[in-house]
């Protein structure tokens, strides 16, 4: 069994692990975009209309996103964590579901949508509080229909977007951004190097529910492979790292993790 040889294991997760929580995913099994490409960081910061569009869609997207709860895969990983069968979790997800399930070892590579940062004074505040302020400033938006999209985004008719009132930092009136790494932006160097240390000190990198199409996650597979550390992949569909994978399980994360947990706990039950 893949986790039973002893030594630290680092897990890298992506959107596939949260799909069962009802959160939409970006790509199909062939790695193609299902939804329109997400907002780019530089455009968000330089263009008023882009921010208005982002926050209007986010206002609706948050209503579905904030209700998502951890699923069996998040809980199974926490069981493996408590039994010390995995040592670090690096997630590319911004939904906080590993942490909601009780994980104490998760690093949110791309930040968290539950927080908002002011680009002027650096104040970090709660996304839920911002939702309340957005509702107060846009009371007529409460009844509009929308369709949820990945990462707290939503599809809303364009004619609504231009009427949406965005809000600014309550401390300094600066521009607010979700506290995440947008596409087109870089993960903070310190965070990358902490994750890289974990990966390179592991005896295995286990990737779950990720196509690894984004370089910020793929780089860990590449580095593990170059260091001779086995890369094991559980993903339903193609991934960017398929050619450097030691073992590929082409299946949904939930079923594989459930089997893995049952097998491992039969061998060494501590917490279940």
Cβ at position 119, least distance to Zn ion in Å = 8
Q: How far is CA 188 from CA 95, 155, 192, 193, in A?
A: 19, 30, 7, 9
Asked whether position 172 contacts Zn ion by CB under 5 A, the answer is yes
Among 171, 247, 251, 269, which residue interacts with Zn ion (rule: CB under 5 A)?
Answer: 171
Nearest CB to Zn ion, comparing residues 167 and 200: 167
Nearest CB to Zn ion, comparing residues 121 and 136: 121
Asked whether position 174 contacts Zn ion by CB under 5 A, the answer is yes
Question: Which of the ranges 63-71, 92-100, 128-136, 161-169 carries the binding residues for Zn ion, by CB under 5 A?
Answer: 161-169
Interatomic CA distance for residues 41 and 54, integer angstroms: 11
Yes or no: say if 213 and 207 are a contact pair by the CB < 8 Å rule. no
Q: Pick the catalytic residue from 74, 88, 98, 110.
A: 110
Question: Which of the ranges 47-55, 138-146, 172-180, 259-267 carries the binding residues for Zn ion, by CB under 5 A?
Answer: 172-180
Residue 98 is a catalytic residue = no
Nearest CB to Zn ion, comparing residues 36 and 171: 171
Asked whether position 118 contacts Zn ion by CB under 5 A, the answer is yes
Cβ at position 125, least distance to Zn ion in Å = 9
Nearest CB to Zn ion, comparing residues 168 and 242: 168
Question: Which of the ranges 106-114, 168-176, 188-196, 227-235 carries the binding residues for Zn ion, by CB under 5 A?
Answer: 168-176
Asked whether position 129 contacts Zn ion by CB under 5 A, the answer is no
Among 134, 169, 180, 249, which residue interacts with Zn ion (rule: CB under 5 A)?
Answer: 169
Cβ at position 170, least distance to Zn ion in Å = 8
Cβ at position 60, least distance to Zn ion in Å = 25
Question: Which of the ranges 51-59, 69-77, 98-106, 115-123 carries the binding residues for Zn ion, by CB under 5 A?
Answer: 115-123
How many residues make contact with Zn ion (CB under 5 A)? Answer: 8
Interatomic CA distance for residues 74 and 170, integer angstroms: 35
Interatomic CA distance for residues 32 and 228, integer angstroms: 30
Among 121, 136, 267, 270, which residue interacts with Zn ion (rule: CB under 5 A)?
Answer: 121
Interatomic CA distance for residues 221 and 227, integer angstroms: 10
Radius of gyration of the chain (CA): 19
Nearest CB to Zn ion, comparing residues 120 and 246: 120
Cβ at position 137, least distance to Zn ion in Å = 17
Catalytic residues: 110
Contact residues: Zn ion, CB under 5 A: 118, 120-121, 123, 169, 171-172, 174
């Amino acid at each position: 069994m893949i986790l039973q040889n002893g030594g630290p294991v680092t897990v890298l997760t992506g959107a596939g692990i949260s799909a069962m929580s009802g959160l939409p995913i970006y790509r199909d099994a062939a790695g193609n975009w299902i939804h329109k490409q997400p907002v780019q960081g530089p455009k968000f910061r330089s263009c008023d209309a882009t921010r208005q569009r982002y926050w209007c869609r986010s206002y609706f997207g948050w209503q579905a996103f904030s209700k998502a709860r951890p699923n069996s895969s998040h809980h199974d990983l926490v069981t493996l964590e408590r039994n010390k069968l995995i040592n670090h979790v690096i997630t590319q997800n911004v939904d906080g579901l590993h942490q909601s399930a009780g994980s104490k070892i998760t690093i949110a590579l791309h930040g968290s949508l539950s927080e908002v940062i002011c680009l002027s004074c650096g104040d970090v505040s709660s996304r839920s509080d911002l939702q309340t302020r957005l509702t107060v400033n846009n009371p007529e938006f409460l009844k509009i229909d929308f369709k949820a999209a990945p990462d707290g985004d939503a599809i809303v008719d364009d004619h609504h977007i231009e009427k949406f009132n965005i809000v600014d930092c309550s401390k300094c009136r600066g521009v607010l951004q979700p506290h995440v790494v947008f596409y087109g932006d870089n993960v903070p160097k310190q965070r990358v190097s902490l994750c890289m240390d974990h990966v390179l000190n592991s005896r295995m990198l286990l990737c779950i529910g990720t196509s690894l199409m984004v370089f910020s996650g793929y780089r860990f597979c590449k580095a593990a492979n170059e260091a001779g550390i086995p890369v094991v992949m559980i993903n339903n569909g193609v991934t960017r790292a398929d050619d450097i994978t030691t073992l590929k399980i082409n299946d949904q994360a939930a079923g594989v993790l459930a089997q893995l947990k049952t097998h491992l706990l039969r061998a060494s039950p501590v917490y279940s």
